[in-house]
Chain A
Amino acid sequence: MAYIEFVNVSKQFPGALRPSVNNCSLAIEQGTFVVLLGLSGCGKTTLLKMVNRLHEPTSGHILIDGEDIRHLPVTALRQRIGYVIQQTGLFPHMTVAQNIAVVPKLLGWQRERIESRIDELLTLIELPPAEYRHRYPSQLSGGQQQRVGLARALAGDPEVMLMDEPFGAIDAITRATLQDEMIFLQRQLQKTILFVTHDVEEALRLADKIVVMDMGCIVQYDTPFRILTRPANQFVTNLVGADDTVRHLSLISVERAMQSPPPDFHVNGQPRIALHDNLRNALSLLLRTGTQTLVVAQDEHPVGILTMGQIQHLVGRVHEL
């Protein structure tokens, strides 16, 4: 059953000529990472902020776990939902530990439970508690601040996380690191995440499913791979660069394309690629090393081979996958 459900949700701000969100319906399964993707002003942030009632819909309703969110006191609803924003919104007069403790305190947790939760979360985001607990936000780098923002949102162990362009103001290298950590965290935590971005690469990397929005409407709701290979219309094609073959390859795992080695094949110093890596990286490795064959490895053990021919073959029939 859907965990978060939007039913014919519309939002028109007072004085606006057209609705920001126009009759959107959407069902999100528990534990999925859903990215809302679209251009500025397409309504993605408005849709997100209706889930924790920072905006109220003009019509329609939103259910979490089958319950209409308007039936809950707004503070209680928000305490159940983790919220991460681009500018971090960390409280500058509170230490890292105090920032993380905000929601647990609102939830009335015991002191010892809060303290151990702080240590647990700081360890999770790889900021050693002994070193970072008592720092102030101004004493952290942008990337570290955003990690603390994430830890703070996770503190009350919410089922749902809302993330509004959390990595938008961070340099490209740190952003890539944070995205990797986000993927790693989600594998462990299995939260239901709604994540707003206008960065297509970010959406393709992080999402289990992508909601493409345009002019307040949901244009397509599908897996990244199907968004790329079966874009609903020209807008989606242009937005995600669906004609970009290399981009397709980034969504196909090596595992899917590899073959078992022919009987006469010998592992003999060929470049290696990990089983869970993607074909874009494999192609890049082939081009860089000038070889025709890669050895696919899992935990250092060769488990198959991947050739340039196979990648080409797959590109030809990507629409059938």
Chain B
Amino acid sequence: MELLREALAYAQSRPELFWEAFVRHIVLVLTAISIALVICLPLGVWTARSRWASLTFINLVNTLRVIPSIAVLFLMLPYFGLSFQSAAIALTILAMPPILINTDAAFRTLNPAIREAAQGMGMDALTIFRKVELPLALPIILTGIRTALVEVIASATLAAFIGAGGLGNFIVLGSQLRNEAILLVGAIPVAIMAILAEVGMSALQRSVQVPL
């Protein structure tokens, strides 16, 4: 408890510093997730229809995923320097696999009889996608986005190692000064954010779940 009180006091004594790091963290997360969505949702729709595209791109993102995020950060340095871009790219690479894999699986596992019925009733391809395929695929896609979101919220703390800011600043500082209170100023908000993301996404997912 004493530690928590110290942490709170530290944050209150430097409100601008705390809020700047907090906002920076959220912007990093949202940037990485948005880029990953823009790339992976259309890509997943396509790979679900093409065996070779599926093999190629899923293996590609999985390979990128194997490189530790911290290593990606340092690999970006020669190109983007100690910057927001470097951190955003590393986090995007982290967010891509779950979104792509789930989108691909969601469309691939749709019952072919349902698609055939939709065609046979005279729906055009766009209507089939909007009214039938997307609503049925959505719960699985959202699971992928949830996984990506939680991972990225936690991993965005690494951005501090290359000076890109975020709540990781306090964790880095705290560990360098061996001051646990300062470390918690970074760690606790990150944990709360991750839990909220998890809970919020689960609720969203339930609301679009197809009745079983």
- Chain A positions near chain B (C-beta within 8 angstroms): 52, 54, 74-81, 83, 85-93, 102-103, 106, 136, 138-139, 152, 162
The count of chain B contact residues (Cβ–Cβ below 8 Å) is 19
**Are B135's CB and A85's CB within 8 A?**
no
How far, in angstroms, from A106 to B118 measured CA to CA in the complex? 11
Tell me if B123 counts as interface (CB < 8 A to partner A): yes
**Are B211's CB and A52's CB within 8 A?**
no
How far, in angstroms, from A29 to B124 measured CA to CA in the complex? 30
How far, in angstroms, from A231 to B132 measured CA to CA in the complex? 46
**Are B136's CB and A88's CB within 8 A?**
no
A-B contact count (CB 8 A): 67
**Are A83's CB and B124's CB within 8 A?**
no
Cβ-closest 3 pairs across A and B: A89-B117, A78-B122, A79-B122
**Are A93's CB and B123's CB within 8 A?**
no
Tell me if B120 counts as interface (CB < 8 A to partner A): yes
Within residues 91 to 124 of chain B, which ones have a CB less than 8 A from any CB in chain A? 111, 113-114, 116-124
**Are A93's CB and B121's CB within 8 A?**
no
**Are B116's CB and A54's CB within 8 A?**
yes
**Are A92's CB and B210's CB within 8 A?**
yes
Q: Which residues of A contact B211 (CB under 8 A)?
A: 92-93, 136, 138-139
Q: Which residues of B contact A52 (CB under 8 A)?
A: 120
**Are A89's CB and B116's CB within 8 A?**
yes
**CB-defined A-B contacts under 8 Å, sample of 16:** A54-B119, A75-B123, A75-B124, A78-B119, A79-B121, A83-B120, A85-B113, A85-B117, A87-B111, A88-B113, A89-B120, A91-B114, A91-B136, A93-B210, A106-B121, A106-B123
Within residues 195 to 212 of chain B, which ones have a CB less than 8 A from any CB in chain A? 210-212
Q: Which of A77, A93, A103 touches B135 (beta carbons < 8 Å)?
A: A93
